[in-house]
Amino acid sequence: MTDYNKVDENIIQQFRDYVSGKVYAGNDINEDFFHDEMPIYGSYQPDVLIEAKSTDDVSTILTICNEHKIPVLARGAGSGLVGSGVAINGGVMIDMQGMNKILEYDLDNLVVKVQPGVYLHDLAEDCLTKGYMYPPDPGEKFATLGGNVSTNAGGMRAVKYGTTRDYVRAMEVVLPTGEVTRFGAVVSKTSTGYSLKDLMVGSEGTLGIITELTLRIVPQAKHTISLIVPFETLEDCIATVPVLFRAHLKPQAIEFMERKIIIASEKYIGKETFPKNIEGTDVNAYLLITFDGDNEDEIDLQMEQAAELLVENGAIDVLVADTPNAIKDAWAARSSFLEAIDSQYKLVDECDVVVPINKIAEFINFVNEAGEKYDFDVQSFGHAGDGNLHIYAVSNDEDKKEEFNKQVHDFMEEIYTKAYEFGGQLSGEHGIGHGKLQYMREFEGEINTNLIRGIKKVFDPNMILNPGKVVSVD
């Protein structure tokens, strides 16, 4: 075990003297900072919470922490789901939410420069006012962009537009030593040494702290249309997805969901949009599909082709949402799944495993069958267009938390084993954090895990930066 030092009064005074943002210590730290959106992974109090206002602040903090061998991590909105932004070793937490300026649009090069604490929602909205779109669209709109980049957040539109990685052109980074550097460039094409920028994307704040981002934007699509597609069985539902791709259709998003999660979510938001029974047939699964583009005729054509294929392949009906309000309603239930689950259950754990899209149906069946032998309930939904599945283990037996955790572990082992059999991976978009760390070596293998550890040590010789996330400390 690496020995870290404690933050003493002298060091706290250094932070107060040399950092421009506020410094909180001990009981002055708000408990919201002790966990992220998956509290099942534990509550951990940092010794100090510092609001960073500038790159200099971050550099000063890291220099001091590195000198004294104190664990330190950056935290965005705390909306993570694997415990990446949680101070499991105590030490210093840097709140990045104060660095929240959209700095500059460069519309010749189609990029925007932002500070890492800007919320996804704010950049997305701001881009639209200029006729542009920032395509990555994870479910949580009030995550910071720094957090999105650090997890390579995916979201709904990945099937057409790719993930956050595809929109990161360049970044300013403070290394664990306090040194400030830049990775990448404004340009769209580069082959200038190893891609340190791509190494940073998805590294969950373990290699350096991002203090500025240059992100790619695209012209806003002029037209959008959504389809709600009910099916009698989940199998029929998911089996249609490769059919759409083989027909060369290019949806912006394809989500699948089971009946019970829609019911829970509609109850949570207080509005019913999805049909539950059509002419005597119970609906047990849905696809929610969006097409976008600049040419209305082209989108209508794609929509018609899709509708025909969907019905041919077992859809009971195809409901079209083609006004902004109707589209918003169609997506409202989908956007509230996590909140709906949290509101219903006291114990919640989840995984965001990813499998090849032609294996989704088989995989979900496996998951549902495997789930039957455990005491908890299983709920699942996910990105049918890219195979990224959100599988929830939920229970209200709060007294049996330890047993719940044990059972969930066994369940996850089963799920991941099957996912890797199918050519999938542990996480599609949430990352590893410390919540999934125990599975890394087993599923990603000794060789790859050792390479990751080696790289971590190159960036962070004292292992002070967000230790115990992605890769174990020892």
- Which 207-226 positions form the footprint of its own copies (CB under 8 A)? 207, 219
DSSP 3-52: PPPP--HHHHHHHHHH-SS-EEEGGGS-GGGG--S-GGG-----SEEEE-
Q: Which stretch binds its own copies (CB under 8 A): 225-233, 316-324, 328-336, 451-459?
A: 451-459
Binders of its own copies among residues 405 to 424 (CB under 8 A) are 423-424
The residue within the footprint of its own copies, chosen from 72, 93, 289, 357 (CB under 8 A), is 357
C-beta of residue 187 within 8 angstroms of C-beta of residue 249: no
From residue 141 to residue 160, what is the string marking binding to its own copies with x (rule CB under 8 A)? ----------xxxx---xx-
Q: Which residue lies nearer to its own copies by CB, 207 or 341?
A: 207
The residue within the footprint of its own copies, chosen from 35, 68, 430, 434 (CB under 8 A), is 430
Q: Which stretch binds its own copies (CB under 8 A): 47-55, 93-101, 161-169, 341-349?
A: 161-169
Supply the minimum distance, in Å, between the C-beta of residue 25 and its own copies.
Answer: 32
The residue within the footprint of its own copies, chosen from 318, 348, 355, 384 (CB under 8 A), is 355
Element (H, E) at 301: helix 296-312
Supply the minimum distance, in Å, between the C-beta of residue 140 and its own copies.
Answer: 14
Q: Which residue lies nearer to its own copies by CB, 93 or 432?
A: 432
Number of shown-chain residues binding its own copies (CB under 8 A): 83
C-beta of residue 186 within 8 angstroms of C-beta of residue 203: no
Q: Which stretch binds its own copies (CB under 8 A): 121-129, 276-284, 334-342, 356-364?
A: 356-364
Q: Which residue lies nearer to its own copies by CB, 50 or 306?
A: 306
Closest to 358 in 3D by CA, of 239, 234, 231: 239
Supply the minimum distance, in Å, between the C-beta of residue 257 and its own copies.
Answer: 18
> DSSP 3-state assignment of 186?
coil
Query: Should residue 109 be labelled a site residue for its own copies when binding is judged by CB under 8 A?
Result: yes
Supply the minimum distance, in Å, between the C-beta of residue 121 and its own copies.
Answer: 20
Closest to 315 in 3D by CA, of 289, 350, 346: 289
User: What stretches of 340-454 adopt beta strand conformation (E)?
Assistant: 347-351, 377-383, 388-395
Supply the minimum distance, in Å, between the C-beta of residue 296 and its own copies.
Answer: 10
Neighbours of 421 (CB within 10 A): 12
Q: Which residue lies nearer to its own copies by CB, 305 or 335?
A: 305
Closest to 25 in 3D by CA, of 8, 6, 51, 49: 49
Task: In whole angstroms, give the CA distance from residue 46 to residue 59.
Answer: 19
Which residues are 282's β-sheet partners?
277
Query: Should residue 426 be labelled a site residue for its own copies when binding is judged by CB under 8 A?
Result: yes
Q: Which residue lies nearer to its own copies by CB, 317 or 442?
A: 442
250 DSSP 8-state letter? -
* Strand 48-51 with 72-75, pairing: unpaired
Task: In whole angstroms, give the CA distance from residue 136 to residue 148.
Answer: 9
The residue within the footprint of its own copies, chosen from 90, 162, 275, 314 (CB under 8 A), is 162
Q: Which residue lies nearer to its own copies by CB, 395 or 462?
A: 462
From residue 372 to residue 391, what is the string marking binding to its own copies with x (rule CB under 8 A)? -----------x--xxx---
Query: Should residue 350 be labelled a site residue for its own copies when binding is judged by CB under 8 A?
Result: no
The residue within the footprint of its own copies, chosen from 108, 279, 372, 402 (CB under 8 A), is 108
C-alpha pair distances (Å), 291 with each of 129, 294, 306, 315: 21, 11, 10, 18
C-beta of residue 431 within 8 angstroms of C-beta of residue 84: yes
Binders of its own copies among residues 110 to 129 (CB under 8 A) are 110
Task: In whole angstroms, give the CA distance from residue 408 to residue 423.
Answer: 22
Q: Which residue lies nearer to its own copies by CB, 158 or 465?
A: 158
Query: Should residue 455 be labelled a site residue for its own copies when binding is judged by CB under 8 A?
Result: yes
Task: In whole angstroms, give the CA distance from residue 56 to residue 179.
Answer: 10
Dihedral-angle region of residue 253 (phi above 0 means left; psi in -120 to 50 means alpha; beta otherwise):
beta
Binders of its own copies among residues 177 to 206 (CB under 8 A) are 179, 181, 183, 185-196, 198-199, 201-203
